[in-house]
Structure 1
Amino acid sequence: MEELTLAQRVAVWALPILFAITVHEVAHGWVARRLGDPTAMMMGRLTLNPLRHIDPVGTVLVPLLLLFLGGFVFGWARPVPVTWENLRHPKRDMALVAAAGPAANFLMALGWALVMRLAIALGDDLAWAAVPLIYMGGAGIAINVLLMVLNLLPLPPLDGGRIATGVLPGPWAWRLARVEPYGFFILLGLIATGLLGRILGPPVHALQGAIFALAGV
């Protein structure tokens, strides 16, 4: 397929990014509600309306900048609030709430694979519809796999860090939780040194390859 212009890339990536980030956050709030915490629901965050979740920097500026630079694309939304004291089993349930986001991204990646497969089945006669859907499906798989693997890193405040603090014994969980104020800076350091790409690359490429195979690509 031909190389996309910047405007075409924005058009192709916009919907997958919005869905990936929005559904990720809603999944956190939905699972928290099921486990006893209605905070997200009370604040109107259990909605697929992206306007309720958009972070001007993480949802708009960073993805657009990365698209312009031609690098890998990721972003983030405003975190869904969770009041851990409301959860029935706070330590365990916080891990389940955290795991809901990456799980949602995995399911969305499979959904976009289905979109690609259906688009390929449309054939050349409906290329006007098939080609944009194939590009969009590929973007949806890529962004959701990347967000899932990134968020599973055991580094607070990423979801993987919260999962780890939920399953580790008390003293180890406490030590890991103390890293949270520095987690964002550690992540920036990993990006700046190129270590993040080396860490994420193998699992991202392996999982993307498996899902693209399911899509028949």
Structure 2
Amino acid sequence: MLFPGQWWTGAVAVGLAIVVMQFLRCVHPPGGATALAAVIGGADIHALGYLFVLAPVLLNVASILAVAVLFNCLFSWRRYPAHLMHRTHVAVSAPLDRQLELTQEDFEAAMQQLNTFIDVTTEELIELLELASRHAEQHQPHPANIVPGSCYSNGKLGRLWSIRQVIDEGSSKPGKRDEIIYKTLAGDGAYATGVCEREAFRLWARFEVVLRDGRWVKVQELS
């Protein structure tokens, strides 16, 4: 309505819609499409003027939002919007009472529980961190024994994360060092092999893992 008949009004409408959504932290691609529809929608939409914002846009948004809130209320593990979840206060252990360090496997397990694909909000990311923290509290500091053929994770995050498999062990004769031969299967140093003392490998390893459905899972979770 401000710039009728101009060829660039559609681009301006979409651009302003994206800027506003970015500022309000609610980026949603159909919002840009709706702004474009107001420009190229034809005489019927132009005749509505600013009433187009109230009906059909606001009316449809309110209807969809109401359905989303009511539908998610049917499931105890889901709420919409996401910030409505975890309203109950959970007692937190003092730092001296627990040993907590998030690992790559903890985040992967939390992603499986959250059931969200990549595009997460801040609230969902906080929820993911909470789930990963709870998952990490169940870890054991180091495996008691290093078994040939088994796979172990160092429990690090990002580029430092590594999975190694013990492929052989050295001689057990008296006077010989207790060494193992390992191969790095994933993460830092992938496909490399190495030799080290069994105790050094045990201190490097955080827990034993197995590959399940394309992701590495702690063995203790399968028992």
The TM-score range, normalised by the shorter chain, is under 0.3
TM-score, length of structure 1 as denominator length? 0.23
Bigger helix share: 1
Higher Rg? 2
Answer 1 or 2: higher relative contact order, Cα 8 Å, separation at least 6.
Answer: 1
Output the TM-score relative to the length of structure 2.
0.22
Where is the strand percentage greater, Structure 1 or Structure 2? 2
